Amino acid sequence: MLELLTCVLFVVVALATVLLLLQLRNWRSRALDRVAAGPVMVAAFLPSPSLIWRELVTRVGSIVPASSKDLPRLKRRLIRAGFRNPSAVRFFHGVRTVSTLAFTVLGLLWCLRSYTPSDNLLLVTGAAAVVGYAAPMQVLLLRIRRRQRRIEKALPNALDLMVVCVEAGLGLDQTTLQVAKELLFAYPDLCDELTVMNLEIRAGKRRAEGLHNLADRTGVEELKKLVAVLIQTDRFGTSIAQSLRGHSDYLRVMARQKAEEKASKLAVKLVFPIFFCILPSLFVVTVGPVLTRLVRDLLPTIENM
């Protein structure tokens, strides 16, 4: 078992190193092409290994039958994770298929290597296949949660800039477009969503519909509240700057309360590390020399008595 895991780890590290070196080589060649004085003639197009891998996985995903019932939910999750490519669904199905086959083969090899009884062979192989099937979805959900946290973290600063733009005389559409341009490098996820919303409004959708689509694409609760505030402000004609400033203050208060809540939970969470990691070493340092002296001096005295 140990030898098999070592071989698998070696193969994975070697493949990752090769892919990284190829990617670095591509970056270097592109950088040299940008700074070159004259035009560079390319004799033939050589696709990168990542493009070849993506194309193969996408073709595998197009072959695998998919459930039409779960397709809208999967598309929504992919969009919330930041994948808007039309072939993202096929790529996800391909990754899931390849992952299932890879985990099944690894589980079978591990059973054969460790001489697992035939009764447990099917059970272990099936468990490995289930893990391989569920792993891509869990990775996708993890990516969604991380992206939502980044968007939630970017909201207060974006609202402050929106207040400045509105007070300078810009409309709401121009404000969101300006915020998307100014904060592109600091908060690319939020700026990407704002840009898509502006494109939808320019394409002919109503502002309320574009805002609802923005909240549905991200799935962030704080952004949903902001959308509700903007729609009510637009409907009743109240001050947009005042509403944005109040919502920004609300978000900062909520962030501070969450930080205080985590700080109050810290003492309880530190009980187990302190008890199992720090206290034993502290006892060894403080009580160890005393016990050693007692054993060295007291026991011979008791034996002589």
Residue 195 CA to residue 192 CA, distance in Å, equals 5
Q: Of 156, 238, 160, 231, which is closest to residue 197 (Cα–Cα)? A: 231
Q: Kindly give the residue spans of alpha helices, DSSP state H, lying in the chain.
A: 2-35, 49-63, 71-80, 88-113, 118-167, 172-182, 188-202, 207-218, 221-236, 240-269, 271-273, 279-304
Quote the distance between the C-alpha of residue 130 and its chain's center.
22
The residue with tokens 């700080």 is 263
Residue 162 CA to residue 178 CA, distance in Å, equals 8
In tens, the pLDDT along 202-244 reads: 888 888 898 889 988 888 888 888 888 888 887 887 788 888 8
Fold of 148-264: Receptor-associated Protein (1.20.81)
pLDDT at 92: 87
In tens, the pLDDT along 91-114 reads: 888 888 888 888 888 888 888 787
pTM of the model: 0.70
Long-range contacts of 278-282 (CB under 8 A, 24+ apart): none
